């Protein structure tokens, strides 16, 4: 990460960049502030200095004094070299010594000439629309420096969002993070709320969450209400639906498990009985099969050293899906499993099941979310419950049970193959080895699905190219796990 480009549409954004820089600079760091007159260089420097000294610190422009110093640990030197006529004047200002021991902020750094310090940070501000854009060159600093800068900037923007929403002083408890880049924090203030931080630029956008959330609420389903939002920044303040995730509730009272899965199945039936949300992605059977090719790209590669079998597995899967699971589409939520479902005992009917993590909703086959629910990668759903929910679902939708079981097996194979690839990728590329322990369960689900007679061709391809996740294979995968990010 040698260069960072940031849009700064408001003065507050420039202030936040200065504050974030203050948190990563140390003795010997020099920031060369470039840009035309009025570009915002002094504004940024003022925010940086006040962060390190006092919020009310008087920070005059050094246009006429040339240098302003702020004693501390370390000292801060703020210089404006616009009026210098020769680089030798830099020596007279004492900047050479300051470069080694202080934090130095230099406006008009082109005047430094040969006195330019080694490995400076270059920060250029240019007008853009009503605001400005910042380009930052970090020199030879490690990637961790840029990552820390962006993390501090993100935290400052989150603070500003929560303050504007009236939750700036709330106590914050971080919640467990999933495989995505999103993070969740429970806030304690005027009651409780959930803060969702979803950095822009990801596949599952906040805008999608907002759209799907509104649709689910309009259907009478228990998605969290949105209390405040900044879609552009990727921030949402959500209704807190509590801690009653299905796995924890079932662990505390196993007798509730059948009723919980009935409620979750009925949510799917209700959802699919209504018109889908607008403009949802609608993939072909070939698209779905191509996505499952991750199993060869990552899992097979990690275990055998070669990413072989992709074409054969994808071809067999595409044919299977086209034959068994390529009928009329309905709205599906995709990540519909126990960790994304909440037991809400104070509500009734379909509202008893709270819904989380649905921003990847799209059009798909009726059985897809049911497979996701009952063939859970993270927990074992008792076979009698799986059988009963398949029957409950197919009967309610008026489907032929045998035909639906074949479709269910095809969709189950699709999900298992894709998930095995994703879990391997999360280890090898994402530095998250914990997902390897889930692969044997997913492998077992894949084998159960492949045992259906209608999947014989797909089974042949999988038997040929997919190695079993033995202890040795999992160890080999774990040894290739990238450093945690």
Structure confidence by residue, pLDDT tens digits, 35-94: 999 999 999 999 999 999 999 999 999 988 999 999 999 999 999 999 998 888 888 898
Contact present, 70 and 57 (Cβ < 8 Å) = yes
* pLDDT band at 309; cut points 50, 70, 90: very high
- Average pLDDT of 207-219? 97
pLDDT in tens, 99-113: 999 999 999 999 999
**pLDDT at residue 484, as a whole number:** 55
Cβ distance 149 to 21 under 8 Å?
Answer: yes
pLDDT tens, position by position, 242-276: 999 999 999 999 999 999 999 999 999 999 999 99
- Taking residues 363-387, what's their average pLDDT? 98
* pLDDT tens digits along 1-47: 589 999 999 999 999 999 999 999 999 999 999 999 999 999 999 99
When pLDDT is cut at 50, 70 and 90, the band that residue 485 belongs to is: very low
Say which residues have a Cβ less than 8 Å from residue 207's Cβ, sequence separation at least 6: 231
**Residue 62 CB-density burial (10 A; 0-12 exposed, 13-18 middle, 19+ buried):** buried
The pLDDT > 90 percentage for the chain reads: 91
What tens digit of pLDDT does each residue of 168-185 get? 999 999 997 765 678 999
The structural domains of the chain, ordered by start, are 3-161 (3.40.50.300), 169-239 (3.30.200.20), 246-479 (3.90.1200.10)
**Mean pLDDT along residues 399-413:** 98
| Distance from C-alpha of 404 to C-alpha of 141, rounded to nearest angstrom | 57
Closest CA to 435 of 373, 378, 380: 378
Distances (CA, A) of 383 to 325, 377, 388, 390: 22, 14, 9, 11
């Amino acid at each position: 990460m040698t260069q960072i480009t940031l849009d700064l549409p408001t003065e507050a954004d420039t202030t936040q960049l200065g504050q974030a820089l203050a948190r990563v600079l140390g003795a010997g760091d020099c920031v060369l502030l470039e840009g035309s007159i009025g570009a915002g260089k002094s504004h940024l420097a003022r925010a940086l200095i006040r962060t390190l000294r006092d919020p009310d610190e008087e920070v005059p422009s050094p246009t006429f004094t040339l240098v302003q110093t702020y004693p501390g640990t370390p000292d801060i030197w703020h210089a404006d070299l616009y009026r210098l006529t020769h680089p030798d004047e830099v020596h007279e200002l004492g900047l050479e010594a300051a470069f080694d021991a202080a934090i130095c902020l230099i406006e008009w750094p082109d005047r430094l000439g040969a006195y330019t310090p080694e490995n400076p940070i270059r920060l250029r501000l240019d007008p853009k629309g009503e605001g400005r854009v910042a380009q930052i060159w970090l020199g030879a600093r490690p990637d961790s420096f840029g990552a820390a800068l962006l993390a501090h900037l993100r935290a400052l923007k989150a603070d500003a969002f929560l303050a504007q929403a009236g939750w700036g002083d709330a106590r914050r408890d971080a919640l467990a993070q999933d495989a995505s880049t999103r993070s969740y924090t429970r806030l304690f203030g005027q009651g409780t709320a959930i803060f969702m931080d979803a950095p822009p630029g990801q596949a599952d956008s906040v805008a999608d969450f907002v759209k799907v959330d509104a649709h689910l609420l309009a259907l009478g389903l228990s998605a969290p209400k949105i209390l405040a939002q900044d879609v552009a920044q990727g921030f949402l303040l959500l209704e807190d639906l509590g801690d009653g995730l299905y796995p924890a509730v079932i662990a505390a009272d196993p007798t509730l498990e059948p009723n919980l899965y009935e409620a979750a199945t009925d949510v799917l039936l209700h959802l699919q009985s209504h018109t889908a949300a607008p403009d949802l992605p609608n993939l072909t059977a070939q698209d779905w099969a191509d996505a499952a090719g991750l199993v060869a790209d990552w899992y097979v590669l990690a275990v055998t050293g070669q990413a072989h079998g992709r074409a054969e597995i994808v071809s067999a899967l595409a044919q299977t899906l086209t034959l068994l699971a390529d009928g009329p589409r309905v709205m599906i939520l995709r990540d519909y499993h126990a960790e994304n479902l909440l037991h809400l005992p104070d509500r009734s009917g379909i509202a008893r099941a709270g819904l989380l993590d649905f921003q990847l909703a799209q059009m798909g086959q009726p059985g897809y979310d049911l497979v996701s629910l009952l063939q859970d990668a993270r927990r074992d759903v008792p076979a009698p419950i799986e059988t009963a929910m398949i029957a409950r679902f197919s009967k309610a939708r008026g489907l032929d049970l045998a035909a639906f079981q074949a479709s269910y097996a095809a969709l189950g194979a699709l999900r298992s193959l894709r998930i095995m690839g994703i879990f391997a990728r999360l280890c090898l590329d994402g530095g998250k080895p914990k997902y390897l322990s889930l692969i044997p369960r997913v492998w077992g689900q894949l084998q159960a699905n492949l045992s259906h007679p209608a999947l014989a061709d797909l089974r042949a391809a999988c038997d040929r190219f997919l190695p079993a996740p033995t202890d040795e294979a999992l160890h080999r995968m774990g040894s290739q796990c990238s450093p945690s990010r």
